[in-house]
A and B are shown apart, each in its own frame.
Chain A
Amino acid sequence: MAGIGTIARRTFLVGSVAIAGGVAFGYYMVRKPHANPLLDDLAEGEATFNPWVKISSEGITLITPHTDLGQGAYSMQAALIAEELDLDFGQFEVSPGAPSAAYYNTALADEAAPFLSTDRGMQANMTRGAMGALFKILGAQISGGSTSVPDSFDKLRLAGAVARETLKKAAAAKAGVSIEDLQTRSGAVVLPDGDSIPYTDLAAAAAKVKPVKNVELRAPSEWRLIGKPMQRLDIVGKSTGTLPYGVDLEIDGMVHAAVKLNPRQGGALNSYDASAAEAMRGVIKVVPVTGGVAVVADNTWRAFQAANAIEFDWGPAPYPAEMDAHWETLSGAFKEDRLDKVWRDDGDVDAAIAAGDAVDAEYRAPYVAHAPLEPISALVRVDDNGAELWAGTQMPRFVQTNVAAIVGCEPEDVQLHNQYVGGSFGHRLEDEQIKCAAEVAKAMKGTPVKLTYSREEDFAHDFPRQIAMGKMKGVVEDGRVAAYDLSIAMPSVADSQLSRQPLDPPPGPDSQIAAGAWNLPYDLPHFRMSAYKAPPLAPISSWRSVGASSNGFFADAFLDELIHAAGADPLEERLRLMNNDVARKVLEAVGEMSGWGSAMEPNRGRGVAFIESFGVPCAEVVEVSATDAGVKIDKVFVAADVGRIVDPINFDNHVKGAVVWGLGHAMNCEITYSDGKAQQTNYHAHEGMRLYQCPEILVRGLENADRIRGIGEPPVPPAAPALANAIFAATGERIREMPFNKHIEFV
């Protein structure tokens, strides 16, 4: 396992500082990009030291800066520190800490760099390094892209190890014994005579000790926590209704706010009449905000009612008002001047297709809402010195900057308390509700304002998943797939998202247009993957698995069509084409788990799909029955390889949830626009999967990959194609458009 030698190449340094009555340990990274003044500005006083472990005479606090969106990130981060620090669950508190550039995400660069995940060559690694430097300069503390585990895995264990060794050094001096003779166990240093000194009793002394730098991370065989079932820190709170989410917060003097923004998202507010609203019970104030009007009241429901009583004249949508025009825009984007990048061009696709009897198809993926169950909210108090705010966000430092711009203060004068989040799926990478709450709070200086979006407002302003279209051609020969020409067009998610942030879109091609499609690990004689960037349409944002959520469906389902056209077996042909051993084992695993090839009743069918996203190869087999009332999803088998599983229970829960997410939205969810407005206003029209529809899901995690990855998103992309392929196997109907219930019923 990695000792200081490996870690040193990534140049981590760890320090400690005295805090009131104790000590704080941290790390910082000193890989400085060449002569970049921005970095020095950012680093000064801000990133030179940032605590991960705080110990005082009163207790131990572990800082877990990745937001807990429901994925168990706090528990995972705490476990990594506790593993090396020899703490037991129950011996520490966790806190997301204050936002800091030091918590910038070191793993995002891996996903953003345009190289195959298996490419560890010099160019690929140099590009990742340069992108990593960019994220450092930005101080990009972001939870997303399934990176919380890979970002934390080395850093947090190292922070724990340094704290442990420094506490031992302090104990050695105090007890007059050699550090080599000391052990640590359950939050204490154990002396040679068996006596132990709790860390909390060593805090003051440790603060004065020069931190130990030469630490070795433990070998996996010594792990007490990693790889073993854990009990999440939040599980009792979440099972008793006692864990407060952002939307539950109450502070003294707080008022409640609701808002109505132009349902033609991003359109102007021409005029409004709030006279009826102002006269309603409990209404305190009506506040115009960017793009709409907020109502402040003494109760959320009263604020909702009053907001609904306002009459508005809204301006037009800054995108096509009707859905047909969105699809026409995509269809028209498959042309040279919209070509973003040809990501893969193996063999001679044009010649192969010209020579053969080509199969072709068009695939579609609609806008889809995130619609996490906790409606978005933010609690903000603005005063003369800045702002204090309580909200769940995946990008706390962007929020600080944006709120500071509204309030008219410096970002560091925005005190942000990140909150437990009731689901996100990418939704909390947007901060519209926080900015809106800050505008209202600015108009109510000194009064804390909690703004809650109604579900209808949330659906109207979801910033949904991208709409996308695939056009493909292929040729089969001698019972094999010979050529595959895959083109995908979508508007750029990054461009849309960053247009709402104080950042320019990154230069170069948009990797999400090709994600999950260009990196098929297949040795096809002729394979081309072309990405076309469509003009901006409705505002969109990152939705669980982002580009791969549409592209995985396109890429794998059409491959399945070609395999059927070739008369080959769907699993055998994928295995024959597979050029990567880690991925092959994943595919073989679902074959074995599902008893692939065994006989099924005539009305049943199984489909397989394989997609790699976020560096994780993931395969799924879906079994369905075609009944008189519709298609029933019976069983799903999933295998994925994340290199190392931190907590098998959380892994299992996450994979199952991602499968439900992928299947549910493929079954019955879309956002469509008419008159510039999203037509789906609540869950009745965007339902997802319900319990009665949930199949039995069997999960296998593999650990053959050479590096650790996150599992939050990778099981989503293969779910839709595996379902489409199974429906074809059971019914003979090939569905090329999500949601599938436009074509068949589900039971």
Chain B
Amino acid sequence: MQLIVNGETVDADVEEDMPLLWVLRDELNVKGPKYGCGIAQCGACTVHVDGMPVRSCSITAKQVEGAEVTTIEGLGTPDALHAVQEAWIDHQVAQCGYCQSGQIMSAAALLAIYPEPSDEQIDRALSANLCRCGTYPRIREAVKSAAAKLQGA
């Protein structure tokens, strides 16, 4: 099948029921999306499919054929950071950091839809992303900073 990942069209010879996450990680060597639970409980595998945040462990690659898949690698890079990544760095959100790819992708999708999210909208959008290190207070601060930065831009 053909997938569009971070703007590039790529071929993948996989089963129709292979989750997108494993096509990305093990077939395409895109390691930003993380495996955490496999059942859409932790959000570490979050990617954007046509701009919407999706748990890539629980959607098959077949289901996203033809759609634009964006992983954290496609959101921004160390040399060209997305505003959310900049805020994540400024606030030093990460501890172990393993969930943060997913947190950042959820936050970026939230801000694309609600540029000035309320506390409740932040809670709702990011509560599906589990952080075992407990970085939630900094995640909240970083989302607000990123929103302000995007508004000012």
A residues adjacent to B (C-beta < 8 A): 69-72, 231-232, 234-245, 247-248, 250, 256, 281, 299-302, 304, 371-375, 421-425, 452, 454-456, 649-650, 653-654, 656-661, 664, 682-684, 687-694, 696-697
Q: Kindly identify, within residues 37 to 59 of chain B, every residue whose CB is under 8 Å from any CB belonging to chain A.
A: 37-39, 41-42, 44
Distance, CA A456 to CA B131, complexed state (A): 18
Task: Report A-chain residues with C-beta under 8 Å of the C-beta of B22.
Answer: 299-301
Asked if A454 and B38 make an inter-chain contact with CB atoms under 8 angstroms apart, the answer reads: yes
Q: Which residue on chain B has the smallest CB distance to residue A698?
A: B137
- Chain B residues proximal to chain A, CB less than 8 Å: 14-15, 18-19, 21-22, 25-27, 29, 31-39, 41-42, 44, 71-73, 76-78, 81, 85, 88-89, 92-101, 104, 122-124, 126-127, 129-140
A-B contact pairs, 14 of them (CB 8 A): A70-B96, A237-B97, A238-B97, A239-B100, A241-B73, A242-B73, A242-B77, A245-B34, A421-B96, A659-B134, A683-B36, A683-B41, A688-B132, A694-B136
B130 and A690 contacting across the interface, CB-CB below 8 Å: yes
A664 to B78, CA, bound (A): 33
Q: Give the chain A neighbours of B85 by CB distance below 8 A.
A: 239-240
Q: B101: which A residues are within 8 A, CB to CB?
A: 241
Asked if B92 contacts A649 (CB within 8 A), the reply is yes
Give the residue name and chain of the B residue nearest to A375 (CB). Answer: B35
Give Cα A172 to B71, complex, Å. 53
Judge whether B94 and A683 touch: CB under 8 Å.
no
Complex Cα gap A235–B131 (Å): 16
A330 → B minimal CB distance (Å): 27
A664 to B131, CA, bound (A): 11
A82 CB to nearest B CB, Å: 18
In the bound complex, how far is the Cα of B135 from the Cα of A656, in angstroms?
Answer: 7
* Contact in complex: B138, A653 (CB < 8 Å): yes
Q: Is there contact, CB below 8 Å, between A656 and B26?
A: no
Contacting residues, chain B, for A425 (C-beta < 8 A): 132
Assembled-state Cα–Cα distance A72/B133 (Å)? 12
Q: Which residues of A contact B138 (CB under 8 A)?
A: 653, 656
Query: Which of A250, A455, A692 has a CB less than 8 Å from the CB of B36?
Result: A455
Q: In the complex the two chains form, is A372's CB within 8 Å of B134's CB?
A: no
16 additional contacts (CB under 8 A) given A281-B15, A657-B135, A691-B123: A70-B97, A72-B95, A236-B78, A241-B31, A248-B25, A300-B25, A373-B44, A373-B96, A374-B36, A455-B36, A455-B38, A653-B138, A656-B134, A659-B134, A692-B124, A694-B136
- Chain A residues with CB below 8 A from B131, complex form: 373, 691
Contact among A232, A238, A650, A689 for B134, CB-based, below 8 A: A689
Bound Cα distance from A552 to B64, whole angstroms: 50
Q: Are A683 and B130 in contact, CB atoms less than 8 angstroms apart?
A: yes
Cβ B132 vs Cβ A691 within 8 A:
no
CA distance A239 to B72 in the complex (A): 9
A240-B76 contact in complex given A375-B35, A691-B136, C-beta closer than 8 Å: yes
A691 touches B127 (CB 8 A): yes
A-B CB contacts (within 8 Å), total count: 184
* Minimal beta-carbon separation of A116 from chain B (angstroms): 29
**Residue of B18, B78, B94 ringed by the most chain A CB atoms within 10 A:** B94
Q: B interface, by DSSP: helix, strand, loop or mixed?
A: loop
A-B pairs, 4 with minimum CB distance = A70-B96, A660-B134, A241-B32, A422-B98
Residues of A within 8 A of B95 (CB): 70-72, 423, 653-654, 657
CB–CB B96/A374 < 8 A:
yes
Give bound CA distance, A311 to B31, whole Å.
32
Q: If A372-B132, A691-B123, A692-B124 touch, does A239 touch B104 (CB 8 Å cutoff)?
A: yes
Identify which of A299, A373, A424 contacts B99 (C-beta below 8 A). A373
In the complex the two chains form, is A689's CB within 8 Å of B136's CB?
yes
**Interchain CB contact under 8 A, A301 and B92:** no
The CA-CA distance from A691 to B43 in the complex, in Å, is 12
CA–CA, A452 and B35, complex, Å: 10
B133 contact set on A, CB distance < 8 A: 70, 423, 657, 660-661
Among candidates A237, A242, A691, residue contacting B126 with C-beta atoms closer than 8 Å: A691
A301: chain B residues within 8 A (beta carbon): 18-19, 21-22, 26
| Residue in A237, A281, A694 whose CB lies within 8 Å of B137 | A694
Q: How far is the CA of A438 from the CA of B11 in the complex (A)?
A: 33
A454 vs B14: C-alpha distance when bound (angstroms): 20
Q: By the criterion CB–CB under 8 Å, are B96 and A240 in contact?
A: no
Q: A691 touches which one: B26, B42, B88, B129 (CB < 8 A)?
A: B129
A372 neighbours in B (Cβ, 8 Å): 96, 98, 132
The chain A residue with its CB closest to the CB of B25 is A300
CB atoms of B72 and A241 under 8 A apart: yes
Contacts of A69 in B (CB 8 A): 96
Q: Which residue in A299, A423, A690 is a CB contact (below 8 Å) of B96? A: A423
A455 to B95, CA, bound (A): 21
Which residues of chain B are near A456, meaning CB under 8 Å?
Answer: 38
Q: CA A424 – CA B132 in complex, angstroms?
A: 9
Residue in chain B with minimal CB distance to A647: B92
Give A421 to B94 CA distance when docked, in angstroms. 12
Across the interface, B41 reaches (CB within 8 A) one of A70, A72, A682, namely A682
**List of A residues within 8 angstroms of B39 by Cβ:** 455, 682, 684
Whole-angstrom CA separation of A742 from B37 in the bound complex: 24
A141 to B34, CA, bound (A): 29
Question: Are the CB atoms of A243 and B140 closer together than 8 Å?
Answer: no
Q: How far is the CB of B144 from chain A (nearest CB, A)?
A: 13
Given A69-B96, A242-B32: A373 and B132 interface contact (C-beta under 8 Å):
yes
The reply to whether B31 and A244 contact each other, CB–CB distance below 8 Å, is yes
A239-B88, A455-B38 in contact; A248/B31 too (CB < 8 A)?
yes
State A250–B28 Cα separation when bound (angstroms): 12
A88 to chain B, nearest CB (A): 18
A564 shortest CB reach to chain B, Å: 30
Q: Tell me, rounded to whole Å, the shortest Cβ–Cβ distance linking B14 to chain A.
A: 8
Note all chain B residues with C-beta closer than 8 A to A281: 15
Contacts of A657 in B (CB 8 A): 95, 133-135
CA distance A661 to B135 in the complex (A): 10
Docked complex Cα distance between A452 and B139 (Å): 28
- Select from chain B the residue with minimum beta-carbon distance to A656: B137
Give the complex CA separation of A234 and B97 in angstroms. 9
Q: What residues of chain A lie closer than 8 Å to B124, measured between beta carbons? A: 692
In the complex the two chains form, is B71's CB within 8 Å of A241's CB?
yes
A235 to B77, CA, bound (A): 13
Q: How far is the CA of A696 from the CA of B100 in the complex (A)?
A: 20
B86, closest chain A residue (CB): A239
A664 to B95, alpha carbons, bound, how many Å? 17
Give the contacting residue for B78; candidates A242, A299, A421, A422; CB below 8 A.
A242
Which residues of B are found within 8 Å of A70, using beta-carbon distances? 94-98, 133
- Which of A240, A649, A654, A684 is the most central at the interface, judged by chain B CB atoms within 10 Å of its CB? A240
The answer to whether B139 touches A691 (Cβ under 8 A) is yes
Instruction: Chain B residues near A664: list those with CB within 8 A.
Output: 134
CA distance A241 to B48 in the complex (A): 14
Determine if A239 and B94 form an interchain contact, defined as CB atoms under 8 angstroms apart.
Answer: yes
A425 to B89, CA, bound (A): 24
Chain B nearest CB, measured from A706 CB (Å): 28
Whether B94 contacts A238 by the Cβ 8 Å rule is yes
Min CB gap A58→B, angstroms: 22
Chain B residues whose CB sits within 8 angstroms of the CB of A302 once the complex forms: 18
Complex Cα gap A300–B35 (Å): 10
Contact B26 A422 (CB under 8 A): no
Which of B15, B76, B104, B139 has the most chain A CB atoms inside 10 A of its CB?
B15
Q: Chain B's nearest CB lies how many Å from the CB of A155? A: 24
Partner of A256, one of B26, B44, B73, B136: B26
- Give the nearest-CB partner of A300 in chain B: B26
Say whether, besides A239-B104, A657-B134, A683 and B96 are in contact (CB < 8 Å).
no
Q: For A373, what are the chain B residues with a Cβ–Cβ distance below 8 Å? A: 34, 36, 42, 44, 96, 98-99, 130-132
Complex contact B35–A239 (CB within 8 A): no
Assembled-state Cα–Cα distance A88/B64 (Å)? 46
Q: How far is the CA of A423 from the CA of B42 in the complex (A)?
A: 14
Give, as a whole number of angstroms, the nearest-CB distance from B140 to chain A: 7
Give A73 Cβ to nearest chain B Cβ, in Å. Answer: 11
For residue B22, which residue of chain A has the nearest CB?
Answer: A301
Shortest Cβ distance from residue A464 to the other chain B in the assembled complex, whole angstroms: 14
